[in-house]
Chains A and B, each alone.
Chain A
Amino acid sequence: MSVQNLETLFQAKIDKEVKIEPRDWMPDAYRKTNVRQISQHAHSEIVGMLPEGNWISRAPSLKRKAILIAKVQDEAGHGLYLYSAAETLGTSREQMIDDLNSGKAKYSSIFNYPTLTWADMGAVGWLVDGAAILNQVMLCRTSYGPYARAMVRICKEESFHQRQGFESLLVLSKGTDEQKAMCQDAINRWWWPSLMMFGPKDSESTNSDQSMKWKIKRKTNDELRQNFIDMIAEQIKLLGMTLPDPDLKWNEEKKHYDSGEINWDEFWAVVKGNGPCNKQRLAARNKAHEEGAWVREAAMAYAAKKKAKELSRVA
């Protein structure tokens, strides 16, 4: 069968909503796109632990500390689910981690922003996880089976992340003047970077068309971003806070919120490595990886020793 025929059959499967599984034939570009997207997604979960880890030791109460630890632990788990999904496409964990640590692979730019106050933990949960969830809910229906299954698992766990974030901000919004100011300040700083999480505008996104056709993505960047704006613009009323966009206004005709223009220069600068914390994040990942090397080696040596002992007992 020619490759052309195989590609036609492949597209027919996708069109019929049949999931693609690891051992099925797939075009090279489909495999590569999935490896790139899933591993980037995994890296984002892993690097995403850093801004929140910053506040574990300084959480204002034992309850908040326990919640934050649980959330960070979830992110590690999500990274693992996704790395495993990417591995089914033939890449290896070592390769992916090398690519992250060397700076070759990308992760979500949002994690290159610093978490400056406790209120940032609430804003990250509500806005950053909120934006992530919209993307992830869509990905539960992505065409690659292992990716979709990982996303279903992740979505089940992620909902608590957003709710705890909103609840945490709700408490601050009813607190002292200082706490209210802290809440508003965190929202001001995280709003625009959260909007950037959906990626470039549809008119400038290079990967979108083919990904839509292959049903890797099922909504465009701009559609998801609009969903997010509509959702948050309503939720913020309950906090009694405002979003830092003077152009934000309900459009009765479109039944959507209109909003101001994102600072795309900032977006590209952060993507290209010039965000506030890019270097710090990569340095932290590299340090953890290097300092954990002896643990990984020791575990293998111990496993080998135990196995040798067992074999000699049998013999």
Chain B
Amino acid sequence: MNIKIRKYLYGDIPEENAGGTDLKKTADIAQNNPDAWPLWEVFIRSKQGLDHKHAGSLHAADAAMAIENARDVYTRRQEGVSLWVVESKYIHASNPDDAESFYTPAEDKIYRHPGFYDLPDEVKHM
């Protein structure tokens, strides 16, 4: 039962690839190419008062360029009033293989929801 399927280094990009020779070669090229611009994740606040939301990713040499490029590709139609960029390698994510044990404990705690409590109809505004 306890088979390791695949390891991941960061974010959405797999560390080792199960896709055959091409993908393997690809990882080597990326590693042996120090001139390649790093990957950044882009978050956009669509208007004041709302959260920044993940919009996508792009390559850029540094944070300033990442913000400028994000402006050009992700906000050409006034999609945002504020941008965050984070280098993808700094994003840590939960492991999908653990999803069951990680998230199901919340499943049987229905008393955390307001609908769990049966109140007389006379109680208003609650």
Give me the interface of A with B, judged by CB distance under 8 Å: 1, 6, 21-25, 28, 31-32, 35, 70, 73-74, 76-77, 80-81, 84, 87-95, 98, 146, 149-150, 153, 157, 296-297, 299-300, 302-303, 306-307
Contact = CB atoms under 8 A, between A and B. Distances in A.
Nearest to A24: B96
A70 B76 CA distance: 9
Contacts of B76: 70, 73-74, 77, 157
Nearest to A156: B77
Nearest to A296: B35
A104 to B, nearest CB: 10
Contact of B26 (A81, A90, A306): A90
A150 B14 contact: no
B11 to A, nearest CB: 8
Contacts of B59: 93
A77 B73 CA distance: 5
A88 B36 CA distance: 17
Given A23-B14, A89-B19, A84 B8 contact: no
Contacts of B18: 28, 31
Contacts of A35: 19, 22-23
B95 A23 contact: yes
A299 B37 contact: yes
B93 interface: yes
A6 B5 CA distance: 10
B33 interface: yes
B29 interface: yes
Closest A-B pairs by Cβ, 5 of them? A299-B61, A303-B62, A90-B17, A95-B26, A22-B12
A297 B62 contact: no
Nearest to B54: A149
A76 B76 CA distance: 12
Of B30, B61, B74, the most chain A CB neighbours within 10 A belong to: B61
A171 to B, nearest CB: 24
A303 B23 CA distance: 28
A296 B37 contact: yes
Interface in B1-54: 1, 3, 5-6, 8, 12-14, 17-20, 22-23, 25-27, 29-30, 33-37, 39
- Number of chain B interface residues as a range: 35 or more
B85 to A, nearest CB: 13
Contacts of A73: 72, 76
B56 A150 contact: yes
Contacts of B29: 92, 94-95, 98
8 contacts: A23-B95, A23-B96, A25-B5, A87-B39, A89-B14, A95-B22, A95-B29, A303-B61
Given A31-B19, A94-B30, A302-B61, A297 B35 contact: yes
A89 B59 CA distance: 16
Contacts of B81: none
Nearest to B18: A28
Contacts of B57: 84, 87
B63 to A, nearest CB: 9
Contacts of B62: 299, 302-303, 306-307
A81 to B, nearest CB: 6
Interface string B57-95: 111011001000000111011000000000000000101
Given A25-B97, A28-B20, A32-B23, 9 more contacts: A1-B3, A87-B13, A91-B19, A91-B22, A94-B30, A299-B37, A299-B61, A300-B35, A307-B62
